Structure 1
Amino acid sequence: MRELGYKGTHIWHRRGYYFTKVFGISFGGGQQQPGNFVHSEAEEKLWDRVRNSPEIKALARRVDYLLACYFPRLHSLYTNVLSDLCQDNPSLQRNWQDCCFASSSLNFGHAVTTRHRDAHNLLFGECAVWNGSSFDYKKGGHLIIWDLKLVIEFPPGCIAFLPSAMFAHSNTSLSKQEKRHSMTFFSASGLFRWRHNNYMSNKDFMAGASRAERQSWDEHRDNLWQTGLDLLSNM
């Protein structure tokens, strides 16, 4: 993984002290429109090899399948929004054709997260986390959901889904000699807003909206909590 700049070194960021790289499509942080994360040529070539490997493609399909099984309405929303965005803007390159998540991160080394929320993800959406490497999951690497006061064993090879923007979460520590790698799958909330606004930002939409459109937009925002509950239902 040296092409990604990973040489066994870790870096501090708001989710913890480990090496991470994010790939895929996002919108936010000053972007004028949805776009792919920008990387060096070497990083892009390596990511192409990683995402097209049989093992990772199978993992992406599995994550998509599980979301469809447990949250079918949410899966439909993710699938339709990503498809619409890519159809509207052919320059967008999705990670996998058969996975509804717009982005994915690779986390290496001692990938143990500190307490955080992923505030830029869809509030009522789900984030998928695949747990890898080899460590004693009875002693460390547990998934902590702080708001629910849950500490969950998270063995290597397992996949967890959680509303990462809603609940604060982290991992318990590992011993210094142990390694934990992970891969996450998620979609930024800005992508859903862009699609809902008929392919424009909130600012641009409100600037050109009629009084009736503004009222409808405000009602939609006020009722998002109910929309989220309906989408989380599997009935």
Structure 2
Amino acid sequence: FQSFAPKLYVYTENAMDLIFKHNNELHREFPGAFASAEYDLGDLGSALQLQDRDLLQGWRALTALGTYDSRYGGDLVLWDDGFVVRFPPGAIVLFPAALMCYLFVGVRPGEKQYMFSQSSTAGLYQY
């Protein structure tokens, strides 16, 4: 993120710095410009998602985790653009999730697909 969108990275990093300077009871859980991280340990298949609370011009980072064969499922579908992206375990993708609906193709029975995502909610930038 820092290497391909350096101005946006600096913008988000500066916003986080201001928030933490304003309230010293808050602390960063991990380094970087993203304000939040979450694990999705449930069934990811076929649920259309739009992260409309994300910073509009910001990025969401998704990391695929689990034990599944990406030749048979687990693809990331960027619904609005009509892209289907093979998304094997360990892959990371960054995209403007506030602007795009997306979903995951289900995996085969007995396989598991999990997701680790990082993002920043737009409301933080109004703080």
| Shorter-chain TM-score tier | over 0.9
Structure ranking higher in strand proportion: 2
Give the alignment's TM-score, normalised by structure 1. Answer: 0.52
Contact 2:63–2:116 (Cα < 8 Å) also in 1? yes
1:91 is aligned, of 6, 22, 25, to 25
Letter in 2 for 1:93: H
| Residue 92 of structure 2: aligned partner | 159
Runs of 4+ in 1 over 2 A off after TM superposition: 109-113
Contact 1:110–1:178 (Cα < 8 Å) also in 2? no
| Residue 56 of structure 2: aligned partner | 123
Q: Deviations over 1:54-83 (max 9, x none)?
A: xxxxxxxxxxxxx10111111111111001
Contact 1:103–1:186 (Cα < 8 Å) also in 2? yes
Percent identity of equivalent pairs: 26
**If you compute each CA radius of gyration, which structure gives the higher value, 1 or 2?**
1
Shift of 1:110: 3.1
Contact 1:111–1:179 (Cα < 8 Å) also in 2? no
| Residue 40 of structure 2: aligned partner | 107
Q: Deviations over 1:1-54 (max 9, x none)?
A: xxxxxxxxxxxxxxxxxxxxxxxxxxxxxxxxxxxxxxxxxxxxxxxxxxxxxx
Contact 2:76–2:102 (Cα < 8 Å) also in 1? yes
Contact 2:13–2:33 (Cα < 8 Å) also in 1? yes
| Residue 218 of structure 1: aligned partner | none
Contact 2:40–2:114 (Cα < 8 Å) also in 1? yes
Taking the aligned partners of 1:117 and 1:105, their CA distance within structure 2 comes to 15
| Residue 113 of structure 2: aligned partner | 180
Taking the aligned partners of 2:20 and 2:46, their CA distance within structure 1 comes to 31
Shift of 1:108: 1.3
Higher relative contact order (CA closer than 8 Å, sequence separation 6+): 2
Distance of aligned partners of 1:99 and 1:140 in 2 relative to their CA distance in 1, 3 Å threshold: same
Unaligned runs of 5+ in 1: 1-66, 195-235
Taking the aligned partners of 2:48 and 2:95, their CA distance within structure 1 comes to 14
| Residue 221 of structure 1: aligned partner | none
SS of the aligned residue for 2:10 comes to: helix
Q: RMSD value over aligned CA atoms?
A: 1.2
Structure ranking higher in helix proportion: 1
Q: Deviations over 1:128-162 (max 9, x none)?
A: 00111110111111111111110000111011001
Shift of 1:93: 2.2
| Residue 102 of structure 2: aligned partner | 169
Give the alignment's TM-score, normalised by structure 2. Answer: 0.94
